[in-house]
Every structure is written in C-alpha cells, then in structure tokens.
A and B are shown apart, each in its own frame.
Chain A
Amino acid sequence: MNSSPLLARWLLVLRSLVPAATLLLAVALAGLPYGIPYLSTVTPFFALIVVYYWSIHRPEQLPAAAIFAAGVLQDLITGGPPGSVALLLLLAHALVVSQRRTLLGQSYLVEWAGLLLVAVGAGVVGWLVACVYNTALFVPWHFLVQALLSVALYPIATWALAPAARAARAAEPA
C-alpha cells in the first residue's frame, strides 16, 4: 500500500508540531477573560511554563522562531507592547537550554525549582523592562505574584503536557 508511508509521514510532521501547538494554546489561555477578581493583572505566564517544559524535554522541537512568533501573538492579543513577551520567552529559553544538561537528569523537584528561578527571573526582568519602557514605576507585586502562580501551576502543566511530550518523542528521527 502506498498511502500508509505517506500517512505515517504526515503523522510525523503533525507530531513534530505538538510543542508549538501547546505553546499556541498557552498564548490563547493568557488572553481569556476569566472573571476572577484580581486575576487579570497576575494571570499566570502560561507561555513561560510551556517554553520551560519544552526547553528541557524537547528543545529541538520548539525553535526560537516559534517562541518569538507565539510571544508576539500574545502581545497582539493582550494589548501589551509587541515584542515584550517574546523577549522574556526567548531569554528564558536561552537560559534553560544552556542549563539543560544540569536539569535533565535531576528529580522533578529540581526541575520545579528551576522554574521558580526562571519565572522569578522573568518577573524581575519583565518589571525592569516595563518600568524603563513606560518610564514609570510599575507595581512589582503583580510581576512576582504572576511568577509564583506560574510556578504553582507547573505540576498541572507537566501532567497535561506529558502525553504531548510522548507524541513529540515519536516524531523524533530514530
């Protein structure tokens, strides 16, 4: 049968797109109105969680260009300055990829603690950039609470992303 290798190839292509698709979903989640009091300013940085996860587990399947595009898309959806989320995501990605060997063989707790450092770092950098960009003093707590909420969500995110990681692994060349 000729169609099955073609189908398998398409399936492989689709599976290789899984990390980017989860990032796109995270971007969409950030822009939704949840109606929960005080949440809109401290909405978890869903995209950062996803970028952190893939940068450790499958960095080659989430290229920097996809991260950049997703970041810009989030800015366009949420009304923030275009480039700001992309900048934070790319810096986080670069940091995690450079420390990947240290993080990869470690326990889940170490991986989680790594996100704490990355999210707080992104919060501090985000706050500094926001202050400089707007030449105004932003409320630092919003950035810190956002970082901590993102860290708190990591177990749920890893649980949700595990099947996606299995699908993405299947797309890797043997």
Chain B
Amino acid sequence: MRPIGGRIGRLAIPLRVLAQRFALLFLVGASVALMIAAKGEHWAVERVRTTVMDAITPVLDVVSRPAQAFNTASEQVSRLLYVYAENDRLREENERLRSWQSTARRLEQENAAFRALLRARPEPGVLYVSGRVVGDSGGPWVRTLALNAGEADGVRKGSAVVTGDGLVGRVVEAGDRSARILLLTDLNSRVPVVVESSRYRAILEGDNSDTLKLSFVIPSDDIRIGDRIVTSGSGGLFPAGLPIGDVTAIKDGTALVTPLVRFDRLEYVRVLRFEFPGMEAETAPPARAAR
C-alpha cells in the first residue's frame, strides 16, 4: 500500500500549478484594472505615485550621479575638441549680442517711461526653484522627467519648467520632495502659444515624437519656417513670452515646431513660481533655491 503522503504530494503538484496559473491570471487582470483606474486619474493612484516617488527619489538622486558625471566628462572632452571653432562662433555671437544689448537697454528705458505715463500694472513676479533631473521616462510610453524638488521646496502642480534655452514642460505631480515633469513632447502636453512675429494664437501639441505640432491656428498660410513660438500666457498657467521653439517644417498645412530645449541633455531645470494677476497667492513655503 502506498503511503498517504505520497498521494497527497501527487495531488498537490497539479493543485500548485493551478494556483500559479490562477495567480498569473489574477495579476494580469489587476494590471489592466490598475491601468483603467489610472486613466480615470483617480486620486489614490496619484497619491501612491507621489509617495513612491518621494521614497525613491533620494535613491535615484544618488544612482543617477555616476551616469551624469560620465555625461559631463564626455561633454567636456567634446568641448575641448571644438574649442577653437566654438570660440570663433562665440566671438561673432558676442558682437551681435552687444548690439542687441544696447537696443534692449534703450527699449527698456522707453518701456519704463511709457508704463509710467500709462500707470500700467507691473508684471507679476516670477521666482525660480532649481532642481536636478533624477529620472527619465525609460521607454516609449510617456515623455516625462523626475525632479528632486517637491512641494517642500515650493514646486506646485501645474508650474512651468524652464532652462536657459526655453520651456521644458510642466509639473504634473508634486510630492513632498519630488516632482514629475510632463515634457512638451508628451502626447498629453498642450500649451497655449503665440507666433512671436505675427501674434497668431495656437495650441502646441506633443505626440511623443521629437517635434511639436501647432494646431488650432487659423491663417496657416501666414506661418513661415523659422518663426519663433512662445507661450501666450492664456489660462494663466505659464507666463507669457517663454520661448519654446522654431517652426522647422510645414506638412499638410500643419506647422511642425522643433523645441529649443534638448530634452536628452537636461541636468538642472528651473520650476517657475508664477502668480498670475488676480489669482490668490498660494500659502507656499519659501523657495529653497529662488534666484
């Protein structure tokens, strides 16, 4: 007679396989359910996201440093290789900028005089919070960045994120010590813009590719290659006049804009703390690195 334990053992194996298959099926279902819940922008999903990011950002901050140190070193080597050509280019640019500087000074004084005459209300003040990029989107699904600054530093959901070159995107999630930035190139990015020269208003859309699409622009014939696109300030989320990019192609009546910012080389960015006139000032703690 066979021992009972052997029979149970034989029975247990298919049962275990069945349980494993059921668990797998259940987890596949749970993944889909999570995706659907996230689509509805459920507050719990956002809460979990910010909590996890707050916990993991210090780790990412440390781990990302060697990669960025390597990038900095490689960039320095390439700069060294092109130092003469770069010097010539900068001399030329410097001369051009000097003439612009004198024009800007003259216009600044003129503007101040006109403002005084009109008793115009001053533009809202803009403060910056600087943060380091510690995380990337890591795949084709989204175009986002993780930042090592959060609400404790003065970062707010919806704030514009810029570099010296122009607009990067906006803050979509702000934890205590971390924030998630939605890049201009993301599929869900929509920014109200204006064509700098003609002052036509439009919406700039991302589509996860490297270029942006100008939509809702009515007189498309008047948009030319080389036109500069800047924020319009409509909606009060971003200040007006932040440079975004230049029109580099017009395909089937749609203007394609190449951003000024090189998203793959970002190391430090600045989050704007912009208070639109008429909006109530938020009771935010002072900015950590306001400049």
Give A residues with C-beta under 8 Å from B.
28, 30-43, 45, 63-65, 67-68, 71-74, 76-87, 90-91, 93-94, 126-127, 130, 133-134, 136, 138-139, 142-143, 146
CB distance from A52 to the nearest CB of B (A): 16
Whether B23 contacts A41 by the Cβ 8 Å rule is no
Give B residues with C-beta under 8 Å from A.
20, 23-24, 27-28, 30-35, 37-39, 45, 48-49, 52-53, 56, 59-60, 63-64, 67-68, 71, 133-146, 173, 180, 182, 187-188, 207-210, 262-267
Whether B139 contacts A81 by the Cβ 8 Å rule is no
Whether B146 contacts A31 by the Cβ 8 Å rule is yes
Q: Which residues of B contact A68 (CB under 8 A)?
A: 27, 30-31
Nearest 7 pairs of A and B residues by beta carbon: A83-B34, A142-B140, A79-B144, A35-B71, A30-B138, A87-B31, A83-B35
Q: Which residues of A contact B265 (CB under 8 A)?
A: 35, 37
Known: A81-B38, A84-B35, A86-B34; 11 extra A-B contacts, CB below 8 A, are A32-B64, A33-B136, A41-B139, A42-B140, A73-B52, A76-B56, A77-B53, A83-B32, A90-B31, A138-B140, A138-B208
Given contacts A33-B68, A76-B52, contact A139 B30 (CB under 8 A): no
Whether B30 contacts A64 by the Cβ 8 Å rule is no
Most buried by A among B33, B141, B187: B141
Given contacts A90-B27, A146-B139, contact A82 B45 (CB under 8 A): yes
Q: Which residues of B contact A80 (CB under 8 A)?
A: 137, 139, 141-142
CB distance from A80 to the nearest CB of B (A): 4
Q: Which residues of B contact A138 (CB under 8 A)?
A: 140, 187, 208
CA distance A127 to B45 in the complex (A): 23
CA distance A86 to B24 in the complex (A): 11
Whether B31 contacts A40 by the Cβ 8 Å rule is no
Whether B24 contacts A90 by the Cβ 8 Å rule is yes
Whether B146 contacts A83 by the Cβ 8 Å rule is no
